[in-house]
Structure 1
Amino acid sequence: MEPSVARTSPPLSDASELLDAIPAQRPPHHAETPVRTSPRPRLPRIPVPFTLSYGAVLAVTSYVTAHADPALVHALHQGSSTDVAHLLRTPVLVLVASALWVAGGFVSPFALAFLVVLTALERRVGAARTAVVFLLGHVLATLATEVPVGLAVLVGHLPDSSLHRLDYGISFGVAASVGALAGLLRPWLRWPLLAAFAGMLFQDLIAFTDPLTNWGHLIALSTGVATWPWVRRWSREARS
């Protein structure tokens, strides 16, 4: 028989060294996976409510102009005209009503300019301020062209029929909006835009087909240019 050999445990210090030699087994790290929730569906935001709603009104009135009885259309235009006689009786009503029609219909150059220019202006300064610029040009240019007519009739330089001159449309407001928008553009685009638009207006004035309206366009454009300090401040406020 083999002699029994007593089994002895290693010293405590030796056991500690063995444990230190074994690499520690770290528990697996489970990263918290964020729970992804689908965003709430949002209704599409209308960026230019003034331009779109006003454009819809102009589309309706243009349709009426193109398809209604010509006698009715003439009566509507005459009733909306910002002539001297109407301005003396119902100034606010005709100033608003005259801006509901597009001379030449919805496919006219001023209608296209309305959509492009007012959209660009409204995105920079907001709906209410765009309406202020448009109405400012419309009202000031109308008064600047019609008041001299009334004075000329008063002193006998024009016949009484001039008091009922047909005058309606959005062109004065569009011209003012072009002038205001130019002040928000970079110089390389601002000055060519003003030069091209003013050149077109001067050509119409030289043609002398409707000098009062043509002067009104230039006055409205100048009114828009005069608003540059305000529209630039409004644009900075809208971006902040």
Structure 2
Amino acid sequence: MERTAPPPAASDAPAPEAPAPDAPVPDARFPDTAGLLDGMPRQRERRATDVAGTPVTPPATAAPDTGFRVPRLQRLLPTPTGTPFTFVYGAVLAVVSLVAARLDPAVVHTLHQGSSTDVAHLVRMPVLVLVASALWIAGGILSPYALALLFVLTALERRIGGVRTAGVFLLGHIGATLATEVPVGLAVLAGRLPASSLHRLDYGVSFGVAASLGALAGLLGPWLRWPLLALFGWVLVTDLIAFTDPLTDWGHPIALTIGVATWPLVRRRAPVAGG
């Protein structure tokens, strides 16, 4: 007779119930949340350390944007990468000025005469004197035209590039020189001026600076363009009234007009600020 094994005795402890699908799972890292009621928002305070115990630095709060921007100084000054033409040209002018300051004044005067863009030199070696005359700053490296060259060419080159800035500068330098010297040569041929007028001293960067300022004004907003042109024009008119150097004083407004005439060209490269 076979004996049947008795069924296993039922345990008095109730069987564990399976968690509901929507029930929250307690997090072992935060045991204090195990007793929270279901549906209660769980707001955990930010710990000073992470799970591994490494201190946690709270993120820095960004300062509110007020909309005010202070222009950086490096944007006003030339740099080798941002404005290579102005930087290199300014460095060359600085070296020439420093060397000239250590030379004998008689030697410097001879160099000025050799690079003068008068009629006699323009007839014999026009390219050489047009380039050499642009290496001198009348009044030295701390003259107003030296400072104007630094800031005007930097601002212009940042908007239209180095090649176009060099083109505007040379156009004003060469155009204003020829516009003032050619009439002198014709007047000497007609007998209205003495032959000594063919050897007048003429050098410097002022014509190129005036043309560059005129071109830069076309890229500024009206609120800055017209006051700038009015102020510079008033200075030029004052020089004409003084009549100390007629050819040079007439060359500056001519160069400014050349710069203003380049507005359609420079505006194709850079939009008008505020326009």
Alignment TM class, shorter chain as reference = 0.7 to 0.9
Q: Which has the higher contact order (CA 8 A, sep 6+)?
A: 1
Question: Deviations for 1:186-209, whole angstroms, at most 9, x for unmatched residues?
Answer: 111100000000110110011000
d(CA) in 1 for partners of 2:238, 2:249: 9
Which range moved further: 225-234 or 143-152? 225-234
CA contact (8 A) 1:64 1:73 kept: no
Structure 1's consecutive aligned runs of 4 or more residues displaced over 4 angstroms after TM superposition are: 22-28
d(CA) in 1 for partners of 2:255, 2:19: 90
**Residue 70 in structure 1 maps to residue 69 in structure 2:** no
CA contact (8 A) 2:119 2:181 kept: yes
Where does residue 124 of structure 2 map in the other structure?
89
Amino acid at match of 2:9: R
Report the identity percentage: 69
**Residue 187 in structure 1 maps to residue 222 in structure 2:** yes
CA contact (8 A) 1:65 1:105 kept: no
Where does residue 19 of structure 1 map in the other structure?
18
CA contact (8 A) 2:86 2:150 kept: yes
- 1:45: how far off? 6.3
- 1:61: how far off? 1.6
Q: Normalization by structure 1: what TM-score?
A: 0.83
**Residue 7 in structure 1 maps to residue 29 in structure 2:** no
- Which SS does the other structure have where 1:19 is aligned? coil
d(CA) in 2 for partners of 1:45, 1:172: 24
d(CA) in 1 for partners of 2:91, 2:264: 30
**Residue 54 in structure 1 maps to residue 89 in structure 2:** yes
d(CA) in 1 for partners of 2:188, 2:147: 36
CA contact (8 A) 2:80 2:88 kept: no
d(CA) in 1 for partners of 2:121, 2:207: 18
d(CA) in 2 for partners of 1:55, 1:179: 20
- 1:235: how far off? 1.2
d(CA) in 2 for partners of 1:72, 1:64: 11
- Which SS does the other structure have where 2:93 is aligned? helix
Question: Deviations for 1:27-75, whole angstroms, at most 9, x for unmatched residues?
Answer: 99xxxxxxxxxxxxxxx96211111111111112212332211111111
CA contact (8 A) 1:98 1:168 kept: yes
Where does residue 33 of structure 2 map in the other structure?
none
d(CA) in 2 for partners of 1:55, 1:167: 20
Superposed counterparts of 1:141-180, under 5 Å: 141-180=176-215
- 1:6: how far off? 4.7
**Residue 110 in structure 1 maps to residue 109 in structure 2:** no
Amino acid at match of 1:131: A
d(CA) in 2 for partners of 1:24, 1:203: 87
- 1:109: how far off? 0.7
d(CA) in 1 for partners of 2:9, 2:218: 99
- 1:156: how far off? 0.5
- 1:219: how far off? 0.2
d(CA) in 2 for partners of 1:188, 1:49: 29
d(CA) in 1 for partners of 2:24, 2:249: 91
d(CA) in 1 for partners of 2:142, 2:124: 32
- Give the RMSD, CA atoms, in angstroms: 2.7
CA contact (8 A) 1:62 1:105 kept: yes
Where does residue 253 of structure 2 map in the other structure?
218
- 1:21: how far off? 3.4
Question: Deviations for 1:155-175, whole angstroms, at most 9, x for unmatched residues?
Answer: 100111111111000000000
Amino acid at match of 1:117: V
**Residue 80 in structure 1 maps to residue 82 in structure 2:** no
Number of residue pairs matched by the alignment: 216
